[in-house]
């Protein structure tokens, strides 16, 4: 929510932050006070040009967790090595049939259409109820009013829902939307990227640059879940909302990336009521996982397990 008017040219943009390190010891300021305290800062900008500074203002942290197999002790073949039973035999048979197709398809990085089709095939091999609803929009709200929409494809399987996100399209829109002086790369670096690294429409999204936009989508999805829960008004309000986002990886070794977060109401209150002082411990931790392609026979189970796991509260 803050983009500097004059970015420094020393390349140390990652370390810059609107909120100083000593802010934790200082009195907590409302979001409105934070975004108006410095007149040189441009605040409440489109999520396409969010940077790490917006994450600092909102007290958001993205925590890379490595490969999705790490939480299984590195045993990627665990889902396949289970016992017998008709269901287990069917799943092993489906995995054997999918492996050659995945081996051919994942030689190249997945585009948006292939990403959705591959995700559908993988999930259908482990679940009988897979639904995909493209063309959805998550509205990021400020002061309880929708400000901007972020497109995504809603996917559900076995009672688990997540957002499938076109990161490449977002990266292209970011390049078109962001003025040169606000970009992390210089015009010369951008030309080199487009000329020598397969740029243009097929250029893979820089995951680091997309993290702020992904966090914005996490917030927008959590805000929508909160509205839906309030409309149903069944029982006490939820203690938090689990949001999951899947998007294509930058290389063929890790074709799927998963972002997940447990968003608490105290964090959402900062955006819904920006003039209020935030509650203690009202930050947001977002976890980022990479799902390796190999072994292909267990990819469906590993991807489903990562999506089902959600995020640590």
Would 27 be classed as within a structural domain?
Answer: no
- Angle, in degrees to the nearest 10, between helices 86-105 and 112-124: 160
Give a yes or no: residue 120 inside a domain: yes
Would residue 156 count as lying in a domain? yes
Residue 76 lies in a domain: yes
- How far apart (Å, rounded) are the C-alpha atoms in residues 56 and 214? 15
Bridge partner residues of 136 (DSSP)? 152
- Token reading at 129: 């109820």
| Total length of the chain | 313
CA–CA separation, 43 and 249 (whole Å)? 30
pTM of the complete model beyond 0.85: no
Query: pLDDT tens digits for the chain (313 residues)?
Result: 433 333 233 333 333 333 334 334 345 788 888 878 766 666 678 888 888 888 988 999 999 887 755 444 444 444 444 455 776 677 777 778 888 999 999 999 899 999 999 999 999 988 888 999 998 999 999 999 999 898 999 999 988 999 999 988 888 887 777 654 444 444 544 544 444 343 333 445 566 678 899 999 999 999 999 999 988 877 788 889 999 999 998 888 999 999 999 999 999 999 999 999 999 889 999 999 999 999 999 999 999 999 998 654 4
Number of compact structural domains in the chain:
1
Q: What is the residue range of 101's domain?
A: 62-309
The answer to whether position 29 is within a domain reads no
**DSSP code at position 106:** T
Looking at the domain assignment, is residue 19 inside a domain? no
Q: Does 110 reside within a domain?
A: yes
Q: How far apart are CA 25 and CA 163, in angstroms?
A: 37
CB atoms within 10 A of CB 56: 19
CA neighbor of 116 nearest in space, from 169, 69, 63, 176: 169
């Amino acid at each position: 929510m803050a983009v500097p008017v004059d970015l420094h040219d020393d390349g140390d943009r990652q370390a810059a932050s609107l909120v100083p390190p000593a802010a934790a010891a200082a009195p907590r300021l409302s979001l409105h006070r934070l975004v108006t305290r410095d007149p040189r800062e441009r605040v409440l900008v489109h999520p396409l040009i969010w940077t790490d500074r917006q994450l600092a203002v909102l007290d958001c942290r993205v925590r890379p967790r490595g490969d999705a197999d790490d939480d299984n002790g590195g045993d990627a073949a665990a889902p396949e090595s289970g016992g017998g039973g008709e269901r287990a035999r069917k799943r092993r048979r489906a995995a054997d049939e999918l492996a050659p197709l995945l081996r051919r398809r994942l030689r190249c990085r997945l585009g948006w259409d292939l990403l959705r089709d591959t995700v559908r095939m993988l999930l259908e091999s482990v679940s009988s109820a897979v639904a995909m609803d493209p063309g959805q929009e998550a509205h990021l709200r400020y002061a309880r009013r929708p400000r901007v929409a972020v497109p995504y494809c809603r996917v559900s399987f076995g009672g688990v829902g997540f957002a499938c996100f076109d990161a490449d399209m977002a990266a292209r829109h970011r390049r078109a939307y962001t003025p040169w002086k606000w970009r992390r790369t210089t015009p010369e670096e951008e030309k080199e990227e487009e000329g020598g690294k397969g740029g243009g429409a097929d250029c893979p999204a820089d995951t680091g640059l997309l993290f702020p936009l992904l966090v914005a989508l996490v917030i927008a999805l959590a805000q929508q879940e909160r509205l839906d829960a309030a409309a149903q008004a069944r029982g006490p309000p939820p203690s938090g909302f689990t949001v999951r986002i899947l998007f294509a990886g930058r290389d063929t070794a890790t074709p799927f990336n998963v972002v997940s977060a447990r968003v608490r109401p105290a964090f959402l209150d900062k955006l819904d009521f920006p003039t209020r002082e935030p509650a203690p411990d009202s930050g947001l931790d977002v976890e980022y996982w990479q799902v390796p392609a190999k072994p292909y026979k267990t990819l469906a189970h590993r991807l489903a397990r990562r999506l089902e796991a959600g995020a640590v509260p």
